[in-house]
Amino acid sequence: MSEAPPRFRAARRRQAEQRTLENDRIALWVYVADCPAVVRRLRTAGARVVAEPAAQPWGERMAVVLDPDGNRVMVADRG
């Protein structure tokens, strides 16, 4: 299996909405070749794993770790 080249996707809403943010954090998705292996390395390096790698209904494996500031980082592979 080969990975696709890195890419960025942004979305724009059609109309502006004013609402209160529930928190001031970001969430980042990172696609890797082997999610469980990357999560093991992150845990060894001291990252807090809040969701272990698991198969998702849409066909990916995904885990959630926290960065040093408490932001969620979703680590996923194509399963």
Domain membership flag for residue 18: no
Domain membership flag for residue 67: yes
Domain membership flag for residue 1: no
Structure confidence by residue, pLDDT tens digits, 53-64: 999 999 999 999
pTM: 0.68
CA distances to 6, 19, 57, 63, 79 from 42, in Å? 21, 35, 24, 11, 19
Q: Helices marked H in 1-79 — which ranges?
A: 35-44
**What is the count of structural domains for the chain?**
1
Domain membership flag for residue 43: yes
Structure confidence by residue, pLDDT tens digits, 22-43: 666 778 999 999 999 999 999 9
Percent of the chain residues topping a pLDDT of 90: 58
> Domain range holding 57?
27-77
